[in-house]
Structure 1
């Protein structure tokens, strides 16, 4: 098992490598900081130990949090793999990315990626693991965008389909004369559960047991669901193990103090009422920052509101480079110096096509979550892989037997409310919709106006023709096409207003 950070550093002091490592650390004192982002796939914010889950084992992420900065109000812009990653890499809202607002689609060619900015500033840049971010080919007469990566490695090995096995080798084999940026993207915890078959107890400890998992109120507390969650927890723990390996490697290379580490996830767990949802179970993310040279204090928690589009300007500022005008986020560095600092009042999120037709928007102010749904006639049952899961099919069986609780029934609800409002501190699972409560009329009106302003200033829209369903909403099976038919793509949400050329961030 990997050791917590304090023990890693203490152990290094007792080895013959001490003189080499100390010299390397001293040499890097005046150099630009390195940056390592480790991003989990499909993990909800509260499925790390340091965020309150006593069952999912994440000792290495917990150790980073105990030595660094833990964000409690960090939010994604999309609870959908490629739109979320594209949003992070460009520092822009999904509808401002062109077709990339929807799953599996490319990012508009005119937009800057922050790894490109780092590479042009002298950084060695590497992507190892899940990519899922592609640029659109440049238009006729438009120059080809600069290369963002020196190294791209899918990272999958025969004994590790989580794509983490070559993370540490990437750090060790990097050019030693440059600062480095590594985007380490795990495939854990994306379905299907390969960690169960690749489990190494000497590394990861014992497998999680179904009787120990935490079953959220919108899932059924039945054996199939508990086993589903246990397998999911195994993938979370495997991701954590490799976070520890990277940390240990940075320490042994003498680079830990001079490296900004960020740990987060791209969207919520692949279970009903999580992934693709605008509620916290889908859109809130864990975000742990560790950087001894750049973050004041240890084991600090901040409730300052941040969006993942704030990562790009943060990293660029830390690297001493110029922030492109296309970036809509705002740097988090004031929070690194003072966890009480405020960099934004609002965080916005989107629900666009991910296997199924959808158009939803939300705004948070740190106290309330306001949601607006432009397709209320359609259920928000979750993506196709979640629909095919034992957890969803168990709920479906209970539904047919009229045995669902209100929280569980929300998975199948249609029509849905056009508006939802939640006081998140009092209602962490967002089960009590206050949108039509008289005492919250002013709150709803205020946040509705903020969302209107953001929609207008950033060029969002509800196209007449959205991309339709590709899968069956009951079974998750792919919808069959007639002979000669092709899958249709509708107009992306930013298309009607040419939002790829709008760089205004809206209210923040």
Structure 2
């Protein structure tokens, strides 16, 4: 019988440990290699109808359309909040915006302790980064973060002055830099946060690019004027600029052989930057474009009617990466419906979405007050509860504005624009349209979105809709209580205090 001495034993066990560690490392790399890449693309202020895949003739988005054609197009995707920072925060945290304290509104500090999917993926071996606009406008350093919640920033490349560039960030070039720095064998998670079609627009670029005023798709809540039509055409070209960079990113992934192992999601953070759209709970504020492509896992060429909330993205990304979803996330993973192979309505429980607003533009109302709203959208109806109907929904008629040279001098929740200026300058001869955009609203609004897709006929006070209104109000309240909305739990002053504390723009 051979007996090992101490030195021989340690030598053999040490060698075995090294072999095991090497084997584990190889296994870990193999597991990482199996995980999908994630490319999340989010434009800034783009309504759901602002894509040719949804039938627009004014906006041409071939690369969004490609993702939809080679993947899945969603008809019912809705933000948690139609305002930049709370919308983006709900994506990152997987939680309804009203649970996010200061991050439930724009121009506030980020909240320490908020878990975001990018951090979770980074800790599990993903190469993470973003270009353009991540979470924001917010001060993430106030929460002790060294990077934006969307990840480390890649914004080194810019277009040369004089180029066609509207926003001069070279998003696709920055994506290439990000890929160049990826450790071998690591999956990536990249956030493409285009700053278009956020204002300020390059005025007249729509006509300069060959579009015609007759091609402008004019919603019926605006009067017909050359100024408004031209503004819409400018918006269209800015939207197309975002899509152009998306196309370059898809091409790069094809060139390096990574496209089919990449979960590609393309959407927008809130509605278009026009009156009665962005920062409202109407369709043009909360209803978003959404296309998802994942060639190796998701059957292509489908259109889904299931309702999607922006809180669903974080659980989807984590489940796709094989990671557990934190219990505090209110969203639900989309993988089941994505991988079902079916079209139309796949999950009967996905029959509604909830959205809302607290405070959009800081200081837009005297005393710092917001305009709190909660809304529920079903296949047929949109119900909106305005919790402070005595206030001006678009901000006080006189007050701070953005940009600073907005000649209207008020209604600060609505970005300055030729359309806003036209409505304000013609408030007498176009009183109906002015009131739709800026007038005070009742406590309850109810619209049949099938019969009234632009929300022009409020049915809330019509007796034969009383049961519909009561049912929707009850469903909304139940959802808000279950997801711990402070207002539904009698703690609305918590959110009011954040709005009143931060009355000046904060963060980028």
- 1:104 aligns to what? 107
C-alpha separation in 2, matches of 1:35 and 1:56:
26
Match of 2:472 in 1: 447
Q: 2:72 & 2:128 partners in 1: Cα distance?
A: 24
Selected match of 1:397 from 412, 425, 429: 425
Query: Structure 1 residues 371, 135: CA separation in 2 closer, same or farther (over 3 Å shift)?
Result: same
Q: Match of 2:407?
A: none
1:216 aligns with 2:242: no
Q: What is the distance in 2 between the residues matched to 1:106 and 1:62?
A: 36
Q: 1:45-73: CA deviations, max 9, x gaps?
A: 10110112111111111122111100000
Cα distance change of structure 1 residues 310 and 124 upon mapping to structure 2, 3 Å threshold: same
Indicate the SS of the match to 2:109.
Answer: coil
TM-superposed CA distance for 1:234, in Å, is 0.9
Aligned position for 2:326: 324
- Equivalent residue number for residue 486 of structure 2: 460
Deviation at 1:487, TM superposition (A): 6.3
Is 1:410 the counterpart of 2:436 in the alignment?
A: yes
Separation in 1, partners of 2:302, 2:178: 27
Residues 423 and 170 of structure 1, relative CA distance in 2, 3 Å threshold: farther
Greater Cα shift, 376-385 or 77-86: 376-385
Match of 1:421 among 431, 439, 446: 446
TM-score by length of 1: 0.79
Structure 2 counterpart of 1:153 = 154
Residue 112 of structure 1 contacts residue 326 of structure 1 at CA under 8 Å; is this kept in 2?
A: no
| Counterpart contact for 1:46–1:53, Cα < 8 Å | yes
Q: What displacement does 1:117 show?
A: 1.0
Matched, 1:289 2:292: yes
> What is the number of equivalent residue pairs in this alignment?
435
Secondary structure at the residue paired with 1:237? helix
**Is the 1:168–1:245 contact (alpha carbons within 8 Å) kept by the matching residues of 2?**
no
For 2:282, the equivalent position in structure 1 comes to: 279
Conserved? CA contact 2:75–2:289, under 8 Å: yes
**What does residue range 125-204 of structure 1 map to in structure 2 within 5 Å?**
125-131=128-134, 132=136, 134-135=139-140, 137=142, 151-154=152-155, 157-159=158-160, 160=165, 161=167, 163=169, 164-170=171-177, 172-173=179-180, 174-194=182-202
Which protein has the larger Cα radius of gyration, Structure 1 or Structure 2?
Answer: 2
Structure 2 CA distance for aligned equivalents of residues 148 and 427 of structure 1: 39
User: Deviation string for 1:243-265 (max 9, x for gaps)?
Assistant: 11111111111111111100000
1:88 offset after TM fit, Å?
Answer: 0.7
Work out which of the residue numbers 83, 88, 93 in structure 1 matches 2:91.
Answer: 88
Q: CA deviation at 1:155?
A: 5.7
Higher mean C-alpha displacement, 172-181 vs 47-56? 172-181
Q: 1:265 to 1:162 in 2, by over 3 A?
A: farther
Pairwise CA RMSD of aligned residues? 2.9
Assess if the C-alpha contact under 8 Å between 1:29 and 1:258 holds in 2.
Answer: no
Classify 1:222/1:148 alpha carbon distance in 2 versus 1 (closer, same or farther; 3 Å). Answer: closer
Deviation at 1:38, TM superposition (A): 0.7
Task: Confirm or deny: 8 A CA contact 2:154 2:177 kept in the other structure.
Answer: no
C-alpha separation in 2, matches of 1:30 and 1:408: 56
Q: Which of the numbers 68, 71, 74 marks the counterpart of 2:71?
A: 68
Decide whether the 8 Å contact of 1:74 with 1:307 is kept in 2: yes
- 1-side partners of 2:380 and 2:168: how far apart? 36
Name the CA shift for 1:97/1:209 in 2 (closer, same or farther; >3 Å). Answer: same
Give unpaired runs (5+ residues) of structure 2: 1-29, 365-369, 396-400, 404-413
